[in-house]
Amino acid sequence: MEPDIRYARNGDVAIAYQIVGEGERDLVYVSSYVSNLVYAWESPYYREFYERLARSFRVILFDKRGTGLSDRGGAGWATLETRMEDMRTVLEDVGSERAVVLGSSEGGLMAALYAATYPEATEALVLFQVLPRGWQGDLARLDEWGTQELADGFLADICPTLLRSEADRVWFANWLSVGASPEIGYALNVTYANSDVTDVLPTIGVPTLVLVRGRLARDQGAAEPADLIPGARLVELAGSDYWGVFLSPEIVDEVEAFVATLGAEAESETMLATILFTDLVGSTAKAAELGDRGWRELLVEHHARIRLELARYRGVELDTAGDGFFARFDGPARAIRCACAIRDSVAELGLELRAGLHTGECEVFDEKVTGIAVSIGARVAAEAAAGEVLVSQTVKDLVAGSGLEFDDRGAATLKGVPGDWRLFAVRALAEAR
């Protein structure tokens, strides 16, 4: 008998999940592309995979936002950041404080972002067939979503093993149909193609196992996370299928063996964060115009408005210096929207503001955040023009699918930071979610 379907709410969006097994350790599985918690149990492959994991773990399964039994949650498609927060909501709902995070294919990008952002809640990370620069497949065929022809075409490319059986072919075609609508299926693939977590992977500080199977995965970069994540272990599995985590029985054995080597919990000293710096333009002239008292009163209102937006978008104020603010966020899209809201709010006071954002690894010491990512964020802000919100390419690559639009400002040399950095100005905002 399959476990009950439960729901966790992230705002107004209900995320469907199940719990399998009663192991002492928690393992959350982030599926590839689409899923459906009910229909997965119709596959003998998935059933065996889940039941074998449940021998050693309390397994937490969920349908990502917009897929399977979960709500879609507004117009457009959710970013990696939003879907990561959905998973965090599920883990909080089941009372999980730390979990092994197993991410497959497209789901591995979210798993990696979660491990980097919340290392204190991640016991270990396991990645199967994760392409850090996204899948570069044929998106044109997605107009045929739901047809057996499209499903067979997918299987020919990514999982020929299932193509050999009529029952498996039909199951997979239905899996796509019950997993997502045509619009969501297309959005998932476009977002995967446009996402890039190569800058995130070196910031992951939790024990990591990278699993790779077949030449297609190796050619597209599935082994690259093992090179980029410090201390990651790479295991090459037998077989040639790109898709189908359940087609390698040894995966469960590898995960169990890897987790058995984990030592005592260590307090993390680093975290992935999006850094925001703001600065007023022409503040000296404005202060001279208003006088000391008038300028102080204006600054009080300026500070109050910025703090209001930081609270609204879950930003953490780290420091103020005169008329500038330094803050951090655990999600880049939310940080961008906050920066734009701050700019627009202080403009009502007759003030012009510039802002810069960068996402990177930060060191945490005595509740202070330091590191090269902080320096880069400050330098990006210094490059911004009046009224401009400027971001690094790392930030842009992490918000694929958000509806945010950018103008390419080209490469810049940031003072004191090695190399050239490609910068982008935020052009338009989608409806916040």
Write out pLDDT tens, residues 58-106.
999 999 999 999 998 876 677 889 999 999 999 999 999 999 999 999 9
Bridge-based pairing state of the strands 208-213 and 270-281: unpaired
Q: Domain 6-260 maps to which CATH number in 3.40.50.1820, 3.30.70.100, 3.40.605.10, 3.20.20.10?
A: 3.40.50.1820
Q: Tell me which CATH homologous superfamily contains domain 270-428.
A: Nucleotide cyclase, GGDEF domain (3.30.70.1230)
Kindly report, residue by residue over 19-61, the tens digit of the pLDDT: 999 999 999 999 988 999 999 999 999 999 999 999 999 999 9
pLDDT at 17: 98
Token pair for 57? 């773990």
Rounded CA-CA distance 354/336 in Å is 12
End-to-end CA distance of the chain: 36
pLDDT at 431: 40
pLDDT at 432: 39
pTM to 2 decimal places: 0.82
- 113: three-class secondary structure by DSSP: helix
The DSSP secondary structure of 351-385, one letter per residue, reads: -EEEEEEEEEEEEEETTEEESHHHHHHHHHHHHPP
What is the domain partition of the chain in residue ranges?
6-260, 270-428
Rounded CA-CA distance 57/20 in Å is 8
CA distances from 37 to 18, 24, 176, 276 (A): 7, 23, 13, 38
